[in-house]
């Protein structure tokens, strides 16, 4: 049994694993994301090549995969993501009586997803042109292709799940399922012609970078803020900020 198993599981996320130079790593990650996004957008030939890969997928569609792809794209759209975040928060807060885990888990997942929305605005990459594809399943328009919000959310949620399971017997099963979920969603978003390959690759980088920044910020401010809200302590154990 590890030290994490012996402590109250309701406060497992009171302190998150943190890189020593988390601010520097976050900055480097941010620059890498911008470099990837603008390189794909501005270097001639990159997006047309990736569009050809999307077109190859549209030539090998299957009815079952079509239904799954469209359904999951709808479920993990912004409204669906908000519902899932709310359900996760309520489950940890009310059912598990774990306010620390509820705020840390939901905060990490939400921060990762919202970070992708920021990069979408900055890079402003156009969506794959449906008119140039043979059988596009989802004809999404606009200049918000990079990164994939769906994939970023799944990656951020998977990281949060892993941290919640860290140090328990569920750690590695959760890690494996998380990787499968991320790869699966990335493949789906390419399959339905909603994104380019660099979009989904950038999503993973966004989720990782956001997690690095959030963990550093949480470890410095999370418990301080929760201890200043008396109602939170009535819902479950909240360690002191100096733990």
Which pLDDT does position 179 carry in this prediction? 98
DSSP 3-state of 130: helix
pLDDT value of residue 213: 98
C-alpha neighbours within 13 Å on the C-beta side of residue 133: 30
* Separation of CA 176 from chain center: 16
Q: For the chain, what are the domain ranges?
A: 19-231
pLDDT of residue 116: 97
Residue from 22, 206, 205 nearest 115 by CA: 206
For the chain, list residues with pLDDT below 70.
1-6, 242-243
pLDDT of residue 140: 83
Encoding tokens for residue 17? 């694993």
Q: Round to whole Å and give the CA distance between 212 and 224.
A: 19
Residue 70 burial by CB count (10 A; 0-12/13-18/19+): exposed, middle or buried?
Answer: middle
Distances in whole angstroms, Cα of residue 156 to Cα of each of 3, 23, 38, 135, 178: 25, 18, 22, 31, 10
Sign of the Cα torsion 116, 118, 124, 130 reads positive
Specify the pTM: 0.93
Rounding to the nearest 10 degrees, give the CA dihedral for residues 104, 109, 113, 118. 20
* pLDDT number for residue 1: 35
What whole-number distance in Å separates Cα of residue 153 and Cα of residue 172? 20
Hey, what are 85's tokens?
């975040």
Answer whether 52's CB lies under 8 Å from 162's CB.
no
Among 240, 225, 222, smallest CA distance to 105 is for: 222
Distances in Å between the alpha carbon of 36 and those of 201, 208, 210?
A: 9, 15, 16
Query: Which residues are within 8 A (CB) of 215 and not within 5 positions of it... i.e. 6 or more apart?
Result: 16, 17, 18, 19, 22, 108
């Amino acid at each position: 049994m590890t030290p994490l198993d012996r402590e109250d599981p309701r406060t497992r996320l009171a302190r998150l694993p943190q890189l020593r130079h988390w601010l520097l790593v976050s900055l480097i990650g941010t620059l890498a994301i911008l470099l990837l996004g603008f390189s794909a957008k501005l270097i001639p030939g990159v997006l047309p090549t990736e569009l050809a890969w999307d077109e190859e997928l549209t030539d090998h569609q299957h009815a079952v995969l079509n239904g799954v792809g469209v359904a999951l794209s709808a479920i993990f759209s912004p409204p669906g993501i908000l519902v899932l975040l709310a359900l996760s928060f309520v489950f940890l807060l009310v059912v598990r009586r774990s306010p620390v885990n509820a705020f840390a888990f939901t905060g990490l997942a939400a921060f990762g997803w919202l970070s992708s929305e920021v990069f979408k605005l900055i890079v402003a990459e156009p969506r794959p042109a449906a008119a140039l594809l043979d059988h596009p399943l989802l004809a999404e328009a606009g200049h918000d292709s990079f990164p994939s919000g769906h994939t970023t959310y799944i990656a951020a949620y998977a990281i949060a799940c892993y941290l919640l399971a860290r140090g328990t017997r569920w750690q590695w099963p959760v890690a494996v399922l998380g990787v499968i979920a991320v790869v699966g969603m990335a493949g789906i978003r390419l399959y339905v012609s909603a994104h380019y390959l660099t979009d989904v690759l950038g999503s993973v980088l966004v989720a990782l970078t956001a997690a690095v920044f959030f963990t550093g910020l949480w470890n410095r401010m999370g418990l301080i803020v929760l201890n200043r809200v008396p109602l939170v302590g009535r819902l479950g154990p909240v360690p002191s900020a100096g733990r």
